[in-house]
């Protein structure tokens, strides 16, 4: 009897913490085009080594300071879980609170980072069924803004899981993959890798792949100098692991929303990450309702979502509507050269206006908030 009371008490305490995290008055001061913003963070590597409690997960505030100041809600999750298991359960618990309070009655925008892209995809495909069974209306999501989306998987996870299962993976590759994922690959059971298993390319591309009605607006980067993180040598090795262009963690085929996991070098066949109009190895096709919008050659996986300036930004798709009005102000720059000016690169480049001085994130917010 005492054990039952203790269990009931712990359950009540956990539910109270969930309610407090979900129903607490919002601190945000702005919406996006009249829609509330919900954040879905990326992989938190420390979760693998020390799995957090549900209460710790629900209290988490991640993605970036910029977006936290503009968010009305969070769909948090633990990297120690699996997409179809604990992660789905944790996300649903929070979503139920938002549905009950009508947070998305006028529509919400999901802002995702990294693995949050995959988490959001699974939630969007299943939430109507989940909510119906709970007697609640599904959240009305008008669009998602996906930064460095890992929904297509990453070669780093392929290597990580292989290393946990075999002693024959070269030590430098094992070390680099573990360092970038923040995971100890010397585990006794590969199942201890949690969501890293779901981030394997083939596994990620098997989750919730039915065509969805919510537009997925993609923002992709191809930079990354990890020297400032004391990991410059890791960057060199991960370049040999990840096929095609990448942002140090996620390959372009994933962040662009490509329909196949090819070793592409751009989100477009007619444009480079640096914005030059020239033939490039782009995707054969895109996943349904996925729209690569912006690319940047100097942003990386970690700073793309922050309010930090890291060079010029180019546009792939622009002047269209997909849940939100995609209407970035742009310009072109053409450089010619004389025959003797061999040092000069000629051609035409296209850029987002003001990206020479402002962060990609601030440009995204201001454009969509008009």
For 217-263, the pLDDT digits (tens) are 999 999 975 444 444 444 555 667 899 999 989 999 999 999 999 99
Higher pLDDT, residue 237 or 9: 237
Residue 89 has pLDDT above 50, yes or no: yes
Show Cβ contacts of residue 47 under 8 Å, excluding neighbours closer than 6 positions.
78, 79, 80, 194
Confidence of residue 131 (pLDDT cuts 50, 70, 90): very high
Paired tokens of 284? 């054969």
Tell which residue, 91, 115, 240, 246, has the closest CA to residue 169.
240
Residue 144 has pLDDT above 90, yes or no: yes
The domain limits of the chain are 2-368
Q: What is the mean pLDDT of the chain?
A: 86
Paired tokens of 214? 């919510």
Strands, E assignment, 98-231: 108-113, 141-147, 216-221
pLDDT of residue 228: 45
Round to the nearest angstrom and report the end-to-end CA distance of the chain: 59
Fold of 2-368: Rossmann fold (3.40.50)
Least confident of 25-29, 61-65, 138-142, 270-274: 25-29
pLDDT of residue 19: 36
pLDDT of residue 342: 81
DSSP conformational letter for 345? P
What's the Rg (C-alpha) of the chain? 21
Strand, coil or helix: what is 199? coil
């Amino acid at each position: 009897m005492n054990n039952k009371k203790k269990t009931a008490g712990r359950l009540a305490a956990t539910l109270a913490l969930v309610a407090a995290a979900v129903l607490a008055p919002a601190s945000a001061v702005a919406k996006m085009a009249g829609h509330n913003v919900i954040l879905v963070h990326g992989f938190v590597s420390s979760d693998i080594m020390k799995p957090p409690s549900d209460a710790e997960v629900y209290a988490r505030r991640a993605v970036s300071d910029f977006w936290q100041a503009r968010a009305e809600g969070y769909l948090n999750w633990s990297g120690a879980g699996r997409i179809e298991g604990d992660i789905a359960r944790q996300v649903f618990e929070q979503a139920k609170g938002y549905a009950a309070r009508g947070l998305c009655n006028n529509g919400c925008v999901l802002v995702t980072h990294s693995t949050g892209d995959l988490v959001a995809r699974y939630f969007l495909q299943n939430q109507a069924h989940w909510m119906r069974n709970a007697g609640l209306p599904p959240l009305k999501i008008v669009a998602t803004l996906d930064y460095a989306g890992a929904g297509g998987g990453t070669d780093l996870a392929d290597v990580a899981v292989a290393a946990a299962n075999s002693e024959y993976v070269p030590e430098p590759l094992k070390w680099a993959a573990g360092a970038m994922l923040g995971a100890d690959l010397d585990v006794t059971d590969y199942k201890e890798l949690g969501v890293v298993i779901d981030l394997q390319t083939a596994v990620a591309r098997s989750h919730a792949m039915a065509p969805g009605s919510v537009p997925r607006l993609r923002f992709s980067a191809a930079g990354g100098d990890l020297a400032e993180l004391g990991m410059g040598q890791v960057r060199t090795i991960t370049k040999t692991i990840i096929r095609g262009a990448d942002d140090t963690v996620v390959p372009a085929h994933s962040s662009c929303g490509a329909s196949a996991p090819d070793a592409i070098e751009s989100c477009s066949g007619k444009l480079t990450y640096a914005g030059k109009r020239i033939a490039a190895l782009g995707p054969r096709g895109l996943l349904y309702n996925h729209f690569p919008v912006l690319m940047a050659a100097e942003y990386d996986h970690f700073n793309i979502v922050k309010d930090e300036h890291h060079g010029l930004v180019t546009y792939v798709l622009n002047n269209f509507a997909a849940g939100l009005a995609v209407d970035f102000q742009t310009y072109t720059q053409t450089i010619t050269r004389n025959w003797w000016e061999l040092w000069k690169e000629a051609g035409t480049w296209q850029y987002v206006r003001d990206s020479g001085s402002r962060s990609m994130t601030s440009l995204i917010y201001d454009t969509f908030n008009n």
